[in-house]
A and B are shown apart, each in its own frame.
Chain A
Amino acid sequence: MSLARTQRSEPAELDSADRRIINRLQDGLPLVESPYAAVAAEISLSEGELLYRLERLLEDGVLSRFGPMYHAERLGGGLTLAALEVPEADFERVTAAVNAFPEVAHNYRREHRLNMWFVLATETPERIDEVIAAIEAATGLTVFNMPKQEEFHVRLHLPV
């Protein structure tokens, strides 16, 4: 089995069984000896078909991973969302400066006066403040730190 991930240019075509699999497995897998058989029965597939389709969805690059979802804070790390107001003329320089930090996990340009939004993931909670100070020094801009204060649980993370 090849695990090479395909970089797709066209959206993948999913049939109804693929959608049932993705939506059901976003909810987790039961901790039983034959978990795939249990899930397959719930969504009217055979165990073999479920495994075959899961493997194909991974190979096709529709799914990036199937396995444990970790709780970042309980791993002992720090996690936050932060934003910058970047002057348009400076956008390229600031992007390079921010992305150079290995703690920056995602960085999106968004439509607002605060136009750069990134996630910081650090090995310890204390390190968040140090990295923010370093980003402020490297960019000359004020970092708006917006750590999660309360999480509201959604059932499906991305219904398809």
Chain B
Amino acid sequence: MNSLSMTFISPLEDSAAQRLRALLERGLPLTARPWQALAEQCGMSEGEVLAWVERWQREGLIKRMGLVVKHHALGIRANAMVVWDLPDDTVSEVGRRLAEEPAVTLCYRRPRHLPDWPYNLFCMIHGTRRERVLAALDDIVRRQALQEIPHRVLFSLKAYKQCGGRYTREEQT
């Protein structure tokens, strides 16, 4: 996975931009002028650093500057994948509504695998305890009038592998 860093930059981009990319992968400096600090390390001006980051965000290579919370450190032990079997013509609309629910932390449409797997909408709900996650789900079902929609809750029993890696991805279902 490490060679991904090279696929990001086209050969036409200059080496200072490549240095900036490599520095950013380690995280943003915790100092009053973080872009200035990066600029000094890669031989650019502060304005040039901001322009590159703005461009990468606009092009969608970087979603945003953000932080990654360690669930376990906050006592968040219950991790539920809630899957729904929605009609194809309403799945997108329901997905958008579920994503607006505060308890929902990720929401995706994925393919069914009939007959084994009829579910086409996946969302994640995290919480300190199972009862709280189930209570949050009950509220959502009532609020969104989804009582008639078949759904299942798949709690995680054990994590066998959790890689950090330099590339922060949000698909952590």
For the complex, what is the distance from the CA of A69 to the CA of B34, rounded to whole Å?
Answer: 17
| Bound complex: CA A54 to CA B164 (Å) | 19
Chain A hits for B28, CB < 8 A: 29, 66-68
Given A36-B32, A70-B63, A109-B158, are A154 and B105 also a contact pair (CB < 8 Å)? yes
A128 interface residue per 8 A CB criterion: no
A145 to B4, CA, bound (A): 23
Question: Which B118-173 residues have a C-beta within 8 angstroms of A?
Answer: 122, 126, 128, 152-165, 167-173
- Asked whether A69 lies within 8 Å of B66 as measured between CB atoms, the reply is yes
Q: Is the CB of A87 closer than 8 A to any CB of chain B? A: no
Alpha-carbon gap, A64 to B66, bound state (A) = 11
Chain B: interface residue total (CB-CB under 8 A):
86
Which B residues are within 8 Å of any A CB, using their own CB?
1, 3-4, 7-8, 24-28, 30-36, 46, 50, 53-54, 56-57, 59-76, 79, 81, 92, 95-96, 98-100, 102-111, 113, 116-117, 122, 126, 128, 152-165, 167-173
18 A–B contacts from the bound complex (CB under 8 Å): A14-B74, A25-B67, A31-B50, A54-B30, A68-B66, A71-B61, A72-B171, A75-B8, A76-B8, A99-B160, A104-B161, A109-B158, A111-B154, A151-B107, A151-B109, A154-B107, A155-B100, A156-B102
Q: A residues near B, CB below 8 A?
A: 8, 11-12, 14, 22, 25-29, 31-37, 47, 51, 54-55, 58, 60-72, 74-77, 79, 81, 83, 85, 95, 99, 102-114, 117-119, 121, 123, 144-160
